[in-house]
Amino acid sequence: MKFSRIIILVLSMTLFLNMQCEGDDPAPFPQTNCVNLTLIDSFSYENATTSPYTITGVDINEDCLIITITATGCDGSTWDMQLLDSDSVDESNPPQRYVKFFLVNNEACLAEISKTTSFDLSTLQIEGENEIIINIDQYSDPITYIY
């Protein structure tokens, strides 16, 4: 009797482990080489507060927006950086989107630090289009994103 319980337990465990699928579920976020995702959130776009910063460089590499900022801090290791889209599209040719960069900087040092990060732009793609103009708040030049 004890031997049959062990067999049933082993069989049950084997069936349970066999039902654990690997790779069948879609990834919760797009697979990307970019460090961060670009969020589309009109409320946060309008209401989030940012620490002071200056954008010193912007570039696009495939689906990644690479942005370099300068701000005061100790070393920038605790900075939290976000790119938020307004969830508004101007129906121009090509269409235009509006984004804001947000920095949360709680470092109390006065050294000037530069830091570069990247954001995945694929969430900003518009069906039926292959390029858009991205207007970054506090950056004078619009960026053309071709996908």
Contact (CB, 8 A) for 108 and 116: no
* DSSP H or E segment with residue 43: helix 42-47
* DSSP H or E segment with residue 57: strand 54-61
Which stretch of 18-27, 42-51, 81-90 has the lowest confidence by average pLDDT? 18-27
Q: What pLDDT, on the 0 to 100 scale, is given for residue 24?
A: 47
> For the chain, what are the domain ranges?
34-146
d(CA 56, CA 73) in angstroms, rounded, equals 16
Q: What is the CATH number of domain 34-146?
A: 2.60.40.2370
- pLDDT value at 16 more than 60: no
Ramachandran region, residue 62 (left: φ > 0; alpha: ψ -120 to 50; beta: rest): left
Give me the mean pLDDT over the 26-46 stretch.
80
- pLDDT value at 30 more than 70: no
The full DSSP string for 83-127 is: EEEEEEEE-SSS-EEEEEEEEE------EEEEEEEEEE-GGG--T
Residue-averaged pLDDT of the chain = 86
DSSP 8-state symbol, 128: T
Q: What pLDDT, on the 0 to 100 scale, is given for residue 33?
A: 85
Whether the bond into 94 is cis, omega within 30 of 0: yes
pLDDT tens digits for range 86-116: 999 999 999 999 999 999 999 999 999 999 9
For the chain, the residue count is: 147
pLDDT tens digits for range 122-140: 999 999 999 999 999 999 9
Angle, CA 65 vertex, CA 59 and CA 71 arms, to 5°: 80
Binned at pLDDT 50, 70 and 90, residue 56 comes out as: very high
Nearest Cα neighbor of 131 from 119, 121, 116, 141 is: 121
Which stretch of 8-17, 76-85, 123-132 has the lowest confidence by average pLDDT? 8-17
